[in-house]
Structure 1
């Protein structure tokens, strides 16, 4: 299975391309069947790739057999395969939810969905910064169209802001790549990591400029303050399946920060060692702060979830700022948890909005739910997970982040903000939950659309994963620690990926 590393990119690419051709382009039903088959095959292949990396180690896939640093390289390592499996699982669950007529707002929902997964998986697997840019553009182009899926003025306005900001980000990305390539003569991540330590003087200054531009771009993708303001409105206005899939979009930016500023500009990088850390510390803490304020001020469940995504991004950026293997391990665990929990909450918010009539997901009085027990149970699980209370995975993730803050200064900043953000989430969910479940006007509407079996299955798949992350917490944390150790091991993450080059 030497070609297994390219399957997470190839499967959604082929499925998306086939949907644009007859006979799949003729009927929605055929596209649905192919989407379910494609996302399930993607999940199986990603899980198998993860298992292969666990058993046999890192796999370097050189397209066309052009060896690094000259060819296009895909790197299936413990970090990238974990995130690819997460994206594939998320894609399969969200696709099941979308099959209940959420895909009827546009003719190209299914191919765009597959191209989005292709871009996300490609960004996680690539071993080259230029191809990271390419996959960024693939997932962004698909996200532009998915964002306006279903039409409407709010979605169009949000899409316009989103497109403009990301076009600016893409331009800065190219400028940063040009500066780094002009300075070091390569864009292969492993090769950059080997060469960057020898830079001095003006060349080092130029490389710092390129690295700073990349941090701005990745910060935009990760919703890092002050580039976070696009996220709440964009996510809240998107359709439920799109918002749920977008839950992993900020994680692509977070992953890029870890990959670039640990592997390339890490402790070994000479004059450029840890150049992002002085910027990440204040920006990460401020991101948590502004996200917490947004959580308290959120008028509805979708906006609350979007602001919690910002809080989770800030928490992950704190781990990047701590810059240790323990913090990276905590970040990987918490990243998986927060992505699944926020995705489930976006889907649940859609079910809630449909059953509350004109009140939708806003925290105001409305008619009762048609399925109060099912919705109440799912809401409680999502709330406990997002707050970070036991016995769910959010508690373990936040404990790991707090424990990774070793020094007194780190603890003095990290502990209060993480705990206050959890308290704010508790207050927001308590306020919203009591209003939606206990304060009613009138009677329930029998004509309202109740949650259909596929929607319940999709939300259930995501919710079941949260307690399973606790049940298998020991194995998962062992894996994340090994993945973090690999990322911080310069010889493994750099020299071992360059055939013929020795340390």
Structure 2
């Protein structure tokens, strides 16, 4: 049974998404139940996969029993299993939040949601570049539908920018794959890692060009500077549960950079070794700076949350650029940054629904119903996202700084960004929760708010609180169980920086 675990997180959402599409007339409550059961099953499969590889084993699933590098392989190691588990846990709370009415604002929400999970799991588990491209396209096509779900001019405009940028990225990905295949004769990642160190000198130029184009594509997916402009509008313009699920989308780009950086262009890659190094650290630090400026300039909670995603992207890639210890710190910080970003998007939407005039904008409005509860939840989220003690964000940032001794720019940028984020979130909280004014329900709601938003604005939703509380619970669990999580992250970093076992497992012992 263990041999089939790598395909389970891919197969489950695909089958359920296909079933939901076939049963097009199924009632919305029934769709919700089926989708929820599917996500719970995916969490079980992801947990089983994590347990199976936690001892250092690498599971290889050969589709059609064709051996690598000629056949399609799925590879589950510590990193891919970690990413799949983070994705499924995030999906559970995003789905619960969506099920209080947002999933009914358009067609096929649950089909697209499952196909998004199908593409995400495939991207983390595939063992070759071409199928990484295929799964990228699957998750992107599903994300286009989700980003535009519910309609509206602002959402359509932001979604169009998102679609165009990613279509351009997909085209560049094909050029990158073509150059790498032309120079190395393979697209299987283990085979490429084995060949990189012995590449003929006349092929090095093609391989370098292909590798740098890959970095550009993955940087676009991760929203790394200067390819970040699509993210704030796309994330703040779509619905809250979709934005929450999209918190893992930038991590797909970070995962691809990390996998390529350590496997394809690692220490044993000869002349191609450390191909990303001259670019990664400067762009990551610049992304933190730009993201922090955006946080300070944001005029709404949604935009602020979008720019905080950029800050987390820069922080994670800065840690990756530091080295092995930095990679371990990044792997611990990865789930924290994902869950806190999702938490802020959900909270922003819940607050917007309860402020009839100005939504989540930083403009005085009438006091919200149960404002003390939502203010307390916002305070907890602010502590988490800025890295203040005692939550896991503080542990993660401390580990990143400890991994970068003698690098004052890393310390200065990360600490200054955290300080400015505290200031921005304090300003946002004071404007939303303390700077109230008299307002009447008869006044028109903020432009872009739907009738459903207005109806729900004064109603405390149990599903909203459940989803927000679930994400806070994950952050608390990551704090309480920091020791085991750090042990796993350190073991994963060691496995990544020693790719010989990965190559041997995939290629079946062939040199």
The aligned counterpart of 2:12 is 11
User: Is 1:452 paired with 2:451?
Assistant: no
Q: 1:413 aligns with which of 387, 409, 415?
A: 409
Once the two structures are TM-superposed, the CA of residue 320 in structure 1 deviates from its matched residue by 2.3
Question: Could you tell me how far apart the structure 2 residues matched to 1:278 and 1:60 are?
Answer: 33
Question: Could you tell me how far apart the structure 1 residues matched to 2:85 and 2:464 are?
Answer: 21
> Gapped runs of 5+ residues in structure 2?
442-453
Question: Could you tell me how far apart the structure 2 residues matched to 1:368 and 1:493 are?
Answer: 57
Aligned residue runs from structure 1 range 89-488, under 5 A: 89-322=89-322, 324-406=323-405, 408=406, 411-442=407-438, 448-488=457-497
C-alpha offsets along residues 356-386 of structure 1, whole Å, 9 cap, x if unaligned? 1121011110111112232122111110011
**Would the alpha carbon gap of residues 55 and 270 (structure 1) be closer, same or farther in structure 2, given more than 3 Å must change?**
closer
SS in 2 for 1:218: helix
Once the two structures are TM-superposed, the CA of residue 301 in structure 1 deviates from its matched residue by 0.7
Q: TM-score, normalised by structure 2?
A: 0.95
1:243 and 1:343 in contact (8 A); partners too = yes
Question: Could you tell me how far apart the structure 1 residues matched to 2:507 and 2:320 are?
Answer: 25
The aligned counterpart of 2:45 is 45
SS in 2 for 1:75: strand
Question: Could you tell me how far apart the structure 2 residues matched to 1:282 and 1:53 are?
Answer: 34
Q: Which moved more, 1:242-251 or 1:49-58?
A: 49-58
2:126 and 2:132 in contact (8 A); partners too = yes
Question: Could you tell me how far apart the structure 2 residues matched to 1:278 and 1:482 are?
Answer: 26
Question: Could you tell me how far apart the structure 1 residues matched to 2:157 and 2:331 are?
Answer: 33
The aligned counterpart of 2:59 is 59
Q: TM-score, normalised by structure 1?
A: 0.97
Question: Could you tell me how far apart the structure 2 residues matched to 1:320 and 1:415 are?
Answer: 15
2:363 and 2:432 in contact (8 A); partners too = yes
2:261 and 2:274 in contact (8 A); partners too = yes
Question: Could you tell me how far apart the structure 2 residues matched to 1:88 and 1:25 are?
Answer: 26
The aligned counterpart of 1:489 is 498
2:247 and 2:338 in contact (8 A); partners too = yes
C-alpha offsets along residues 95-146 of structure 1, whole Å, 9 cap, x if unaligned? 0111101101211100000000111111011111111000000000001111
Once the two structures are TM-superposed, the CA of residue 281 in structure 1 deviates from its matched residue by 1.8
Once the two structures are TM-superposed, the CA of residue 157 in structure 1 deviates from its matched residue by 0.7
**Would the alpha carbon gap of residues 330 and 56 (structure 1) be closer, same or farther in structure 2, given more than 3 Å must change?**
closer
Once the two structures are TM-superposed, the CA of residue 262 in structure 1 deviates from its matched residue by 0.9
SS in 1 for 2:460: coil
Once the two structures are TM-superposed, the CA of residue 55 in structure 1 deviates from its matched residue by 4.4
The total of aligned residue pairs comes to: 497
1:257 and 1:320 in contact (8 A); partners too = no
Once the two structures are TM-superposed, the CA of residue 202 in structure 1 deviates from its matched residue by 2.4
Once the two structures are TM-superposed, the CA of residue 237 in structure 1 deviates from its matched residue by 0.3
The aligned counterpart of 2:447 is none
Question: Could you tell me how far apart the structure 2 residues matched to 1:174 and 1:15 are?
Answer: 30
Moved over 4 A (4+): 443-447
Once the two structures are TM-superposed, the CA of residue 439 in structure 1 deviates from its matched residue by 1.0
